[in-house]
Structure 1
Amino acid sequence: MTNAYSFDGALVMSLLFVCTCAYLRRVPRLRQWCFSEKSGLWGVLYKGAVIGVRLHIVVAIACTVMAFYVLFVR
């Protein structure tokens, strides 16, 4: 179990946030409802989704490396 207050816990939480936003952006009803605003709280979701969509290869590699680290190294 990762600790949210450690550096690796913060990395895990940020990767999960970006992956979740990118996944939810693919749902048509949520895209219109959540990702239409580009400021405020909904803007944070929008920016996380944009990072996940544009850097999907880097995010996927980071998720794989972090999973290996959490399962086997830590």
Structure 2
Amino acid sequence: MTNVYSFDGILVFGLLFICTCAYFKKVPRLNSWLLSEKKGVWGVFYKAAIIGTRLHVPVAISCLAMAFYVIFLK
């Protein structure tokens, strides 16, 4: 179990947030509802989705590395 208030907990949360928003971008109903705003508070979801789709290989490698760290090293 990772603690949200630790540095590795923040990294896990950030990676999961980026992956979730990238998945939402692929679902048409969620894409039009959640990712339509590009500015403001709702723009964070749009920007995370863009990061997840454009940098999908580094994000996937980071998710695998973080999973290895959480399961085996922590």
- TM-score tier after normalising by the smaller chain length: over 0.9
TM-score with structure 1 length normalisation?
Answer: 0.96
What count of residue pairs does the alignment treat as equivalent? 74
Q: Which runs of 5+ in 2 are unaligned?
A: none
Tell me how large the CA RMSD over aligned residues is.
0.6
Structure 1 segments of 4 or more deviating over 6 A?
none
Q: Which runs of 5+ in 1 are unaligned?
A: none
Counting aligned pairs with the same residue, the percent is 65
Superposition pairs of residues 1-74 of structure 1, within 5 angstroms:
1-74=1-74
**For the residues of structure 2 that align with 1:41 and 1:11, how far apart are their CA atoms?**
20
Shift of 1:30: 1.1
Between 24-33 and 49-58, the greater mean CA deviation after superposition: 24-33
TM-score with structure 2 length normalisation?
Answer: 0.96
